[in-house]
Amino acid sequence: MASANVTLVRSIVEAWERGEFGSVEWADPEIDFVIADGPAAASWKGIAEMAGGWRDFLGSWEGFRVVPEAYRELDGGRVLLLLGNTGRGKTSGLDLGEIRTKSANLFEIRDGKVTRLVAYWDRDRALDELGVAGESDSASAATSRGTAPADSEIGEVLVEADALEARVRELGDQISRDYEGRDLLLVGILKGAVFFLSDLMRALTVPCEVDFMALASYGSSTDSSGVVRILKDLDAPIEGRDVVIVEDIVDSGLTLSYLLRTLEARQPASLEVCALLTKPERRKVELPIRYVGFEIENRFVIGYGLDHAQRFRNLPYVAVLNEG
């Protein structure tokens, strides 16, 4: 169970995530608000000053966003929020470009009100200063999203939920442009691609249909057996249709290479692949992948459909699996 203080901080952050930086009912009237480092370092006292400071601060950004990763309960009524800040920074006429930080905010809470809030751009510095260990940051990220119990198997977050959302939208736009006036059929590969596919399909503006296949290439281990079996075939023929295979991840490429051969033999008008993730380093067979969400390093990942022994598909982000 989250403590009252963590629950309070979470509700503040949820308001921030909605862009409501003006809500202050959580603040003690005498609140100290400190931006500890970075080009906009500042310190404000009391709600009115804080609100003014916020206004100025937000005015220097385009699309400032708060992306929470983990909530850490410290002693003395303190909660440390590990977060990312994204947006386009413009400090005193200087365009800092797209920014994506690993930041931390410290909330000091008394009687259900925040008495002091220290915002650190530099998370490592915050962890140092506070004497908090930095490991397993994202082990609690899942808890912070309320999607899974804190689990030591959930490692570093590689792709945040908002990055997934943005990229899926881009892919949707691209596919919509490419398939204008054609006969698009998405073939989702069960089970991992279901999450990606349902978001992608909603980002398409062209008519499309969906069908599914289930293949087995992995047991519960994290390495490919190279053996692919069809567990469930398509419901309908694909002859003459414009088919896009939607995959969660291309690893060795063995699954996909088998699938491409199988579907090619059914004479679709065209056949392309859209994969949310690929691990180029692991590729054993070269494959044409027309649409790629993200290239990732060679690590076993979970979340947003990807499982380890059938678990973790429900995480709203993609994280590394901690093995051990």
Distance from CA of residue 244 to its chain's centroid? 24
Smaller CB separation from ligand IMP, 160 or 307: 307
Contact 210, 185 (CB under 8 A): yes
Binding mask 140-159 for ligand IMP (x = CB under 6 A): --------------------
Residue of this chain nearest to Mg ion (CB atom): 192
Contact 134, 102 (CB under 8 A): no
Residues touching Mg ion, count (CB under 5 A): 1
Judge residue 146's burial from the number of C-beta atoms within 10 Å of its C-beta, 0-12 exposed, 13-18 middle, 19 or more buried: exposed
Catalytic residue among 137, 242, 251, 307: 251
Helical (H) or strand (E) element with 158 = strand 154-159
Residues numbered 76 to 115 that lie near ligand IMP (CB under 6 A) are none
Q: C-beta of 189: minimal distance to ligand IMP in Å? A: 6
Contact 317, 146 (CB under 8 A): no
Binding mask 30-59 for ligand IMP (x = CB under 6 A): ------------------------------
Residues numbered 206 to 225 that lie near ligand IMP (CB under 6 A) are 217-218, 224
In the 8-state DSSP scheme, what is residue 120?
E
Binding window for ligand IMP (CB under 6 A); candidates: 49-57, 119-127, 172-180, 300-308: 300-308
Residues 6+ apart with CB under 8 A from 279: 249, 250, 251, 295, 296, 297, 298, 299
Helices of type H across the chain? 4-17, 46-59, 123-130, 141-145, 161-178, 193-202, 254-264
Residues numbered 175 to 194 that lie near ligand IMP (CB under 6 A) are 192
Q: C-beta of 96: minimal distance to ligand IMP in Å? A: 34
Regarding beta strands 318-321 and 78-91, do their DSSP bridges make them parallel or antiparallel, or are they unpaired?
unpaired
Q: Indicate which single residue of 27, 104, 260, 306 sits in contact with ligand IMP (rule: CB under 6 A).
A: 306
Q: C-beta of 308: minimal distance to Mg ion in Å? A: 8
Regarding beta strands 42-45 and 301-302, do their DSSP bridges make them parallel or antiparallel, or are they unpaired?
unpaired
Annotation marks residue 251 as catalytic: yes
Q: Is 244 helix (H, G, I), strand (E, B) or coil?
A: strand
Regarding beta strands 270-278 and 242-250, do their DSSP bridges make them parallel or antiparallel, or are they unpaired?
parallel
Residues numbered 251 to 270 that lie near ligand IMP (CB under 6 A) are 251-256
Residues numbered 181 to 240 that lie near Mg ion (CB under 5 A) are 192
Q: Does 172 bind ligand IMP (CB under 6 A)?
A: no
Smaller CB separation from ligand IMP, 50 or 301: 301
**Hey, what are 244's tokens?**
């896009």
Q: Does 28 bind ligand IMP (CB under 6 A)?
A: no
Smaller CB separation from ligand IMP, 109 or 321: 321
Residues touching ligand IMP, count (CB under 6 A): 17
Question: Computed from CA positions of residues 287, 288, 291, 294, in that sequence, does the dihedral angle turn out positive or negative?
Answer: positive
Largest CA distance in the chain: 72
Smaller CB separation from ligand IMP, 176 or 257: 257
Q: C-beta of 320: minimal distance to ligand IMP in Å? A: 9
Q: Does 247 bind ligand IMP (CB under 6 A)?
A: yes
Q: Catalytic residue positions?
A: 251
Interface with Mg ion by CB under 5 A: which residues? 192
Interface with ligand IMP by CB under 6 A: which residues? 192, 217-218, 224, 247-256, 300-301, 306
